[in-house]
Amino acid sequence: MHMHKYEKIWLIFGTAALLFFLTVLGVSAFYMGNQPPSCLATVDPAKVTEEKPFSEPGLHKVEGEEWDYELVFVASAFVYNPGHIEVPKGAKVKIIATTTDVIHGFAVAGTNINMMLEPGYISEYVATFNKAGEFLVLCNEYCGTGHHLMNSRIEVVE
């Protein structure tokens, strides 16, 4: 079979690019541990507000963990609890969130924090806020008529 020279080059380029990106993906996922926020932890969605840590939403100082604080959020149509929270600048914070009703999003504008909150599952993400200021938390999963009103604020203070 005769193949044009440019076609050969293009095929080699395509295959090499595919192998390159699969390698990058593999190294990132298995060597550097970049995996989606865990959905391994579960909670009964009907009893979220009665169970720890969701019975006390907000910021809690913790000892003996890799992070300094745990920031607990409970989402429901169409609010986050807490609606506003202050976080000390530079602190390592583990965000722990879930929802009591439908799927909500949890995206913090201007950061890498972007989680899906699913009923029955606990979403977690460890982040350090190195920049002072106010960060808007937004719901980026359509959840009903009040979806566009759903927000919270994380204020990073010195």
Q: Which of 137, 141, 154, 156 binds ligand CUA (CB under 6 A)?
A: 141
70 binds ligand CUA (CB under 6 A): no
Residues whose CB is less than 8 angstroms from the CB of residue 34 and which lie 6 or more positions away in sequence, other chains included: 28
Q: Among residues 67 and 78, whose Cβ is nearest to ligand CUA?
A: 78
Residue whose C-alpha is closest to residue 83's, from 33, 137, 22, 34: 137
147 binds ligand CUA (CB under 6 A): yes
Determine the interface stretch with ligand CUA among 29-37, 56-64, 89-97, 139-147 (rule: CB under 6 A): 139-147
Q: Which of 104, 115, 125, 129 binds ligand CUA (CB under 6 A)?
A: 104
137 binds ligand CUA (CB under 6 A): no
Q: Which of 150, 152, 154, 156 binds ligand CUA (CB under 6 A)?
A: 150
Q: Among residues 99 and 156, whose Cβ is nearest to ligand CUA?
A: 99
8 Å CB contact between 52 and 121: no
Q: Could you tell me the smallest distance in angstroms from the CB atom of residue 56 to ligand CUA?
A: 22
8 Å CB contact between 55 and 79: no
Q: Could you tell me the smallest distance in angstroms from the CB atom of residue 37 to ligand CUA?
A: 17
Q: Which of 72, 87, 97, 139 binds ligand CUA (CB under 6 A)?
A: 139
Cα–Cα distance between 53 and 97 in angstroms, integer? 9
- Cα distances from 135 to residues 58, 117, 125, 127, in angstroms, run 15, 19, 16, 13
Helix segments in 82-140, DSSP class H:
none
Residues whose CB is less than 8 angstroms from the CB of residue 66 and which lie 6 or more positions away in sequence, other chains included: 92, 126
| Chain contacts with ligand CUA (rule: CB under 6 A) | 78, 104-105, 139, 141-143, 147, 150
